[in-house]
Homo-oligomer: A and B are copies of this chain.
């Protein structure tokens, strides 16, 4: 497995693979790889000849008060994990390589970015769509793999790809959870033992919502209130948002019909966690 640090070298690597007629998968990450990331890479390897994963802690998707400086970085550990699931190359550019002096161009998606994480993290999705556009142009993958854990991100990137006519097929991989239900996240390592235990309210509240829907509940306000109640009962949990929107349009509704995204963000101390589930009226 190669670790490539420059755009030029990445282009050369991809170009050589293309000339051999090989299909190319891209798995964009910020590193600190966990089983969720590895699931993306295994899917990618099953579908394409060459798997490239980018490991780049992208500064433009962090707000000024966020955890850019302390975001976990572990290239050695990440390389071992990526290599173990058959990744062919890691793209690991510097910030200066991706955003040189006088950098000034951005890609953004309106409307579906003005709610959920877009509301609490202004500029976040502009950073995501910009860096993903750059990665797509550098790697020119046939397929790109993203995790359903970042449900809104998936919808935003899908909209960008369709609107801007990008030549890439998106593959969305289900959330990977710990045995006790906590969704895998690079930020879980920030949690104290008490917070780690308290954080189980996220998946528990989602399961409750799913059960209510299964039992016939269609009133979105009631489902939301039940979720809010579970989370606010946990003293260490600081609720940022719980929202239920039609899926994939992300529009408000009072009654569940067809699919809806139940998404939430909760802080435990300084650690912000997100989780989600697609509710489906059968």
Which of A's residues lie within 8 Å of B, judged by CB? 7, 102-112, 129-130, 133-134, 137-138, 140, 159-160, 163-167
Contact = CB atoms under 8 A, between A and B. Distances in A.
A108 B106 CA distance: 5
A105 B164 contact: yes
A163 B97 CA distance: 10
A110 B103 CA distance: 9
A109 B130 CA distance: 11
A102 B103 CA distance: 29
A195 B229 CA distance: 72
Contacts of A164: 105, 107, 130, 133-134, 137
A160 B140 CA distance: 17
Given A109-B104, A110-B104, A111-B104, A140 B167 contact: yes
A159 B109 contact: no
B106 A107 contact: yes
A102 B102 CA distance: 32
Contact of A159 (B104, B133, B140): B104
A105 B163 CA distance: 6
A134 B167 contact: no
Nearest to A108: B106
A130 B166 CA distance: 12
10 contacts: A7-B165, A102-B159, A105-B163, A106-B108, A106-B109, A106-B110, A107-B107, A130-B164, A137-B165, A137-B166
Nearest to A131: B164
